[in-house]
Chains A and B, each alone.
Chain A
Amino acid sequence: MKRARRGFLMRFALLSVLGMLISMPFFWMLSSSFKPRVEAENADILPEQPTVQNYPVVLDLKPDPSTRRFLGMRYGRWYFNTFFVAVGITFLQVLTSSMAAYAFSRMRWRGRDTVFILYLSTMMIPGVVTMIPNFQVMVWLGFVNTYHGLIIPAAFSAFGTFLLRQFMLSVPPALDEAAQIDGASHWQIFWEVIMPLARPGLIALAILTFLGSYQSFFWPLVMLNSQDLFSMPLGLLTLDSSYGRQTEMIMAAAAMATAPLIVIFVIFQKFVVKGLQLGGVKG
Chain B
Amino acid sequence: MAETAVRKGKRLPPKAVFGFLLPNFLGFFCFTLFPVIFSFAMVFTNWTLRPAVKMEFVGLRNLNDLLGVRSVGPGSHAGVCSVYAICAVLLLVALIGTLWAHVARWRGVRVGSVALGAAGVVLLAVAVVTGAHHSVWLAGALLILGGLAGALREGEPWRWGWGAVPALLFSVALVGLMALNASMWASHEPRDPRFWQYLFNTVYMMLAMPLSIAASLGLAILLSDELPTGPIRTRLIGSLLCLAAGVGTFLFLLSSGHGNLALMGGLLWIIAMLGFAFGVVSYRTVFYLPHFTSGVAMMILWKALYNPKTGPISTALNGLCDAMGWSWRSPAWLMDFTWAKPALMFMGLWTAAGGMNMLLYLSALSNVPKDLLEAAEVDGAGRWSRFRHVTWPQLAPTTFFIVIMAVVGGLQGGFEQARVMTGGGPAGATTTLSFYVYTKGFEDLELGYAAAISWVLFCIVFTATAINWRFGKTLEVDS
Using a CB–CB cutoff of 8 Å, the interface residues on chain A facing chain B are 4, 8, 11-20, 22-29, 31-32, 40-41, 43-46, 95-97, 99-100, 102-103, 107-110, 119, 122, 124-134, 136-137, 152-153, 155-156, 158, 161, 177, 180-181, 186, 190, 211, 214-215, 217-218, 221-222, 232-234, 236-237, 240, 244, 247, 250-251, 253-254, 257-258, 261-262, 265-266, 269, 272-273, 276-277, 280-281, 283
Contact = CB atoms under 8 A, between A and B. Distances in A.
Most buried by A among B26, B27, B30, B362: B27
Interface in B53-80: none
A14 B221 CA distance: 12
Nearest to B416: A217
Interface of B: 2, 5-6, 9-12, 14, 16-17, 19-21, 23-28, 30-36, 38-39, 42, 219, 222-223, 227-228, 259-260, 262-264, 267-269, 271-272, 275-276, 280, 283-290, 292-298, 300-305, 307, 309-310, 312, 315, 319, 350, 353-354, 356, 359-360, 362-364, 367, 397-398, 401, 408, 411-412, 415-416, 419-420, 433-434, 437-438, 441-442, 447, 450-451, 453-455, 457-458, 461-462, 465
Nearest to A275: B359
B30 A215 contact: no
Among all A-B residue pairs, the 6 with the closest Cβ atoms: A156-B27, A215-B295, A133-B35, A233-B296, A103-B20, A277-B363
A244 B35 CA distance: 37
Contacts, number: 292
A204 B170 CA distance: 47
A139 to B, nearest CB: 10
Q: Is the interface of B mostly helix, strand, loop or mixed?
A: helix
Given A18-B287, A124-B408, 17 more contacts: A14-B222, A16-B268, A19-B283, A28-B305, A96-B24, A103-B21, A108-B10, A109-B11, A109-B12, A125-B32, A126-B458, A128-B438, A180-B6, A233-B296, A277-B360, A280-B359, A281-B360
A129 B20 contact: no
Contacts of A136: 38
A87 to B, nearest CB: 18
Contacts of B458: 125-126, 129
B35 A137 contact: yes
B38 A133 contact: yes
Q: Is the interface of A mostly helix, strand, loop or mixed?
A: helix
Given A16-B275, A99-B24, A280-B360, A126 B305 contact: no
